[in-house]
Structure 1
Amino acid sequence: MKTLRLLLFLPGLGALAWGAVLFAEYAFPLRADVFGTLGWLAGGPLVHDLLIAPLVGVVGLALSSVLSDRWKTPVKTGAVLTGVLTLLAVPLLWRPFGGATNPGLHDADTGTGLLVTLGVVWLGVLVAGTRNAIRGLNAKKGHA
Structure 2
Amino acid sequence: MTRGDGGAARTAPRLRLVLGLAGLALMGVGAWVLLVDAASRTPGQVAVWLAGALVVHDAVLVPLVLLVGVALRRLPYRRVRHVVRGGLLVAGCVTLLALPPLLRPGTPRNETELPLDYPRNLLLVLAAVAVVTALAVAWAWWAGRGGRAGRAATPGSGEEPRGRVPG
The within-5 A match list for 1:35-46 is: 45=55
Return the alpha-carbon distance in structure 2 between the equivalents of residues 49 and 141 of structure 1. Answer: 38
Tell me which residue corresponds to 2:91. 82
Q: How many residue pairs were aligned?
A: 104
- In structure 2, stretches of 5+ residues that fail to align are 1-42, 155-167
Return the alpha-carbon distance in structure 2 between the equivalents of residues 141 and 56 of structure 1. Answer: 30
Asked whether the equivalents of residues 71 and 129 of structure 1 are also in contact (C-alpha less than 8 Å), the reply is yes
> CA RMSD of the aligned region, Å?
3.5
Tell me which residue corresponds to 2:134. 126
1:58/1:142 Cα in 2 relative to 1: closer, same or farther (>3 Å)?
Answer: closer
Tell me which residue corresponds to 2:124. 116
Tell me which residue corresponds to 1:107. 115
Q: Which of 55, 64, 70 is the aligned partner of 1:61?
A: 70
Superimposed CA distance per residue, residues 29-54 of structure 1 (whole angstroms, 9 cap, x where no aligned partner): xxxxxxxx9xxx79x84x66665544
Cα offset for 1:55? 3.5
Structure 2 letter corresponding to 1:122 = A
Return the TM-score normalized by structure 2. 0.48
Tell me which residue corresponds to 1:91. 100
> Percent identity, aligned pairs only?
29
Return the TM-score normalized by structure 1. 0.55
Cα offset for 1:107? 1.1
Asked whether the equivalents of residues 99 and 106 of structure 1 are also in contact (C-alpha less than 8 Å), the reply is yes
Cα offset for 1:141? 7.3
Cα offset for 1:102? 6.4
Asked whether the equivalents of residues 92 and 98 of structure 1 are also in contact (C-alpha less than 8 Å), the reply is no
Structure whose residues are more often helix by fraction: 1
- In structure 1, stretches of 5+ residues that fail to align are 1-21, 24-36
Q: Which of 137, 140, 153 is the aligned partner of 1:143?
A: 153
1:99/1:114 Cα in 2 relative to 1: closer, same or farther (>3 Å)?
Answer: same
1:100/1:122 Cα in 2 relative to 1: closer, same or farther (>3 Å)?
Answer: farther
Superimposed CA distance per residue, residues 67-101 of structure 1 (whole angstroms, 9 cap, x where no aligned partner): 22131121111111011100000011112667673
